[in-house]
């Protein structure tokens, strides 16, 4: 039986966070054994907001190395850079011409990122059409993402239907793969905002590469409430519920088990336990990360990934262009 295809990506626009790991990356690792997987670093998406060239290069390599450190095995899954496969930009343009302004205007991520800005780049606006191209180029069946990408995935599905309706059956209609626990990890300083690598307050997130003592400090300072009961109640106790979700995702214990473990103990021991669980998860990953960066293997792995991804992308793009009426030479 042919394996279902999985595709996903992460932006190299800052330090990847525990939110990125729990919401997406750890599912990449799980899916690689049973699916035909493509994981990319979406460096074309990163420049929808200004990036310093030196920082972009470093962060791109860093995200790729984190994929490997988290356990993605290049002999099982294809790891590549979005910018190294020119088909992304090309199909991105073709799909942009099928996208309506109103659809992009409704995107909450665009609204959030453009709010209060004097000038907003066009790329930030058309970003979701490029994301649709990323997914449809590989005819992905499943797209593991966090909750914040649901709306972009819906648009991808709409564009696939629209293309198929207008030019004949071409694209598969992809499904999201969104975890039950941890699809939306919130900030440590404000449980109404998602944990984000672009938050200027580094205390609001745990970066995957934060040193153990930094992790301990950030968790001990995480906002809670004036109560002392460790209880999952997102409406009345959003901060504690967020920490419980992180705890559960990181240890694979159920929320109920964790509640029972800390019953009657207050927040201190709970936060300490959480900090140690996060350190236990990230410390070995950080050691592997260091080894990978030092090994010099990254370039080769990304080049091999590019070869495999390009082959697939070229095939789809050829079919798309021919169906749209382009002269194929
Ligand atoms: P990005 O780089 O913002 O985030 C990468 C992945 O991490 C998930 N995520 C979270 N999950 C739970 N809690 C959080 N606080 C949290 N923050 C981020 C995101 O949902 C995402 O899955 N547009 C995408 C990148 C992209 C892409 C694609 C994804 C471009 N093309 C094609 C899938 C398929 C983005 O900005 O992700």
Domain boundaries, the chain: 5-178+296-324, 202-290
Q: Which atom of ligand 1 is nearest to the CA of 144?
A: 22
Report the top-level CATH class of 202-290.
mainly alpha
What local confidence, expressed as pLDDT, does residue 244 receive? 97
Pocket test for ligand 1, best of 24, 123, 155, 180 (most atoms within 8 A of CB): 24
Respond yes or no: is residue 113 known to be catalytic: yes
Respond yes or no: is residue 194 known to be catalytic: yes
Averaged pLDDT, groups of 10, the chain, 329 residues long:
95 96 97 97 96 97 98 98 98 98 97 91 97 98 97 98 98 96 95 92 97 98 96 97 97 97 96 98 98 97 98 98 96
Q: If you write DSSP's letter for every residue of 105-146 in order, what string do you get? A: HT-HHHHHHHTT-SS--HHHHHHHHHHHHHHHTTT-SEEE--
Respond yes or no: is residue 197 known to be catalytic: yes
What local confidence, expressed as pLDDT, does residue 197 receive? 87
Structure token digits, residue 175: 């499904």
Residue 42 and residue 155 in contact, taking contact as beta carbons nearer than 8 Å: no
Whether the domain at 5-178+296-324 and the domain at 202-290 fall into the same CATH topology: no
Give the Å distance between the CA of 244 and the centre of ligand 1: 21
d(CA 44, CA 32): 24
Q: Which atom of ligand 1 is nearest to the CA of 182?
A: 12
Give the Å distance between the CA of 278 and the centre of ligand 1: 20
In total, the chain counts a number of residues equal to: 329
What local confidence, expressed as pLDDT, does residue 198 receive? 85
Residue 79 and residue 125 in contact, taking contact as beta carbons nearer than 8 Å: no
Q: Which CATH superfamily does the domain covering 5-178+296-324 fall into?
A: HUPs (3.40.50.620)
Q: If you write DSSP's letter for every residue of 52-108 in order, what string do you get? A: -HHHHHHHHHHHHHHHHHHT--TTTEEEEEGGGSTHHHHHHHHHHTT--HHHHHT-H
35-47 pLDDT, tens digit each: 999 999 999 999 9
Indicate if ligand 1 lies below 6 Å from the C-beta of 185.
yes
Indicate if ligand 1 lies below 6 Å from the C-beta of 78.
no
Taking the CB of residue 289, how many other CB atoms lie within 10 A of it?
A: 19
d(CA 24, CA 269): 28
Residue 188 and residue 205 in contact, taking contact as beta carbons nearer than 8 Å: yes
Distance between the two ends of the chain, CA-based, in angstroms? 35
272-312 pLDDT, tens digit each: 999 999 999 999 999 999 999 999 999 999 999 999 999 99
d(CA 210, CA 282): 8
Q: Which atom of ligand 1 is nearest to the CA of 134?
A: 32
Angle at 60 between CA 185 and CA 37, to 5 degrees: 70
Pocket test for ligand 1, best of 7, 23, 51 (most atoms within 8 A of CB): 23
Residue 204 and residue 189 in contact, taking contact as beta carbons nearer than 8 Å: yes
d(CA 182, CA 177): 12
Indicate if ligand 1 lies below 6 Å from the C-beta of 135.
yes
């Amino acid at each position: 039986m042919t394996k279902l295809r999985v595709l996903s990506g992460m932006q190299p626009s800052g330090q990847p966070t525990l939110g990125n790991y729990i919401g997406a990356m750890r599912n990449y690792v799980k899916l690689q054994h049973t699916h035909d997987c493509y994981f990319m670093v979406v460096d074309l998406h990163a420049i929808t907001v200004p990036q310093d060239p030196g920082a972009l290069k470093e962060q791109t390599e860093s995200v790729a190395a984190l994929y490997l450190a988290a356990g993605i095995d290049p002999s099982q899954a294809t790891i590549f850079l979005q910018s190294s496969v020119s088909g992304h930009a090309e199909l991105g343009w073709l799909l942009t011409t099928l996208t309506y302004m109103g659809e992009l205007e409704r995107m909450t991520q665009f609204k959030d990122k453009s709010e209060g800005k004097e000038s907003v780049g066009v790329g930030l606006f058309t970003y979701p059409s490029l994301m649709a191209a990323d997914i449809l180029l590989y005819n992905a069946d499943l797209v593991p993402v966090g909750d914040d990408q649901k709306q972009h995935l819906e648009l991808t599905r709409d564009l696939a239907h629209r293309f198929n309706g207008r030019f004949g059956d071409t694209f598969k209609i992809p499904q999201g793969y969104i975890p039950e626990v941890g699809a939306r990890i919130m900030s440590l300083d404000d449980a109404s905002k998602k944990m984000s690598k672009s938050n200027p307050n580094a205390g609001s997130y745990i970066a995957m590469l934060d040193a153990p003592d930094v992790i301990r400090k950030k968790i001990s300072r995480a906002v809670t409430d004036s109560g002392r009961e460790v209880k999952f109640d997102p409406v009345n106790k959003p901060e504690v519920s967020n920490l419980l979700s992180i705890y559960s995702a990181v240890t694979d214990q159920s929320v109920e088990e964790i509640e029972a473990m800390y019953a009657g103990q207050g927040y201190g021991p709970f936060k300490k336990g959480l900090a140690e669980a996060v350190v236990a998860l990230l410390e070995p990953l950080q050691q592997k990360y260091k080894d990978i960066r030092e090994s010099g293997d990254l370039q080769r792995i990304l080049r091999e990934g590019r070869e495999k991804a390009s082959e697939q992308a070229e095939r789809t793009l050829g079919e798309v262009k021919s169906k749209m009426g382009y002269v194929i030479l």
